[in-house]
Amino acid sequence: KLQDPIVSKSSIPTYLLGIGAMFVTLLFQTRDQDPFNLPKFIALLALSIFGLYLIFTGDLNRIKTKQYGFFVTLIFLFLTSFLASSLYSGNTYQSFVGVYQRNLGLMTYACFSLLFFAVFFQSSLLNTKKFLMIFVATGTLEMLYGLIQLSGLDPLKWKNPYSPIIGTFGNPNYQSAFLGITAAAAVSLIVTSAGFVRLFLIFQVVCSLFLILSSNSSQGFMSF
C-alpha cells in the first residue's frame, strides 16, 4: 500500500504559501512608476523567505528518492548555469535583477525555485487538489477583471497601445498566457466536479478563451 510520507501533517502552512502566490499575482500599486513588476518582485522575495522555512520543515528525505532527486538535480543545474552566466555577463544588475519593468533576472528565478522546493517538500495527496483550486481561483479573478477591462468599465484607466486586457500583469501577453494556463487547470477540475461548480468552471474556461482571442495574443492558446 502506497502512503504519502507527509499525508498526516498539517497543510495550513502550505495553503498559506499558495494564497501568498495568489497575492503576488494579483498585487499592483498604482502610485509606483512601475505599478506591476516592482510590487510583485518585492512580495515574491518576502514569500520566498517563508518558502525557505517550509523547505527545512518539510520531508527532505524525498530528495533521496530517484524520481524526486532527478527534478531537484535539474533545478540545481539550471540555477548553477544561470549564476555562471550572470557572473560573466558584464551587466551584473540586469543579470541578477532583470531589465526595467521586467525583473526577470537570477533573483526572480531563484525565488521561483525556492517556492517550487517548498511545495515539493510539503505537498501531499491531501493538499495537491487544494493547490489546484487556489490556482484556478486566481485565474477566475483574472478572468473577471479581464471582462471588466474588455467592457471598458475598469476604474483604473490603464494606457496600453496593444490591448485593454492586461489584467494585474500590465501586459496583454502575460495576461493571455496566465488565462491559458489556469483555463487548462480548470478543465482538470471540471472532470472531478459536479453541479453548479462544473457549470461555473465551464463558464470560466469559455470566458478565458474568449478573452485570449480578444487580446490578440497567441501565448494564451499555446499555453492552453
The closest alpha carbon to 137, from 207, 212, 204, 41, belongs to: 204
Taking the chain (224 residues) in runs of 10, the rounded mean pLDDT of each run is: 46 86 94 90 95 84 77 90 90 88 90 89 78 94 96 90 92 95 95 91 97 94 96
Q: Helices 195-214 and 128-150: crossing angle, nearest 10°?
A: 50
The answer to whether the CB of 179 falls within 8 A of the CB of 214 is no
User: What does the block give as the cell for 55?
Assistant: 523547505
Q: 193 near 203, Cβ under 8 Å?
A: no
Q: Which residues contact 190 (CB under 8 A, 6 or more apart)?
A: 198, 201, 202, 205
Q: Are 189 and 133 in contact (CB under 8 A)?
A: yes
Task: Give the C-alpha separation, 25 to 19, whole Å.
Answer: 10
Global pTM value: 0.85
Q: What is the pLDDT of residue 187?
A: 95
Rounded Cα gap, residues 133 and 120, in angstroms: 17
Handedness of CA 132, 138, 143, 146 (dihedral sign): negative
Q: Taking every pair of C-alpha atoms in the chain, what is the biggest distance, in angstroms?
A: 57
Q: Are 106 and 96 in contact (CB under 8 A)?
A: yes
CA nearest neighbour of 185 among 137, 142, 144:
137
Please enumerate in sequence order all residues whose Cβ is within 8 A of that of 94, keeping only pairs 6 or more positions apart, or say none: 105
Give me the pLDDT at residue 5, please. Answer: 46
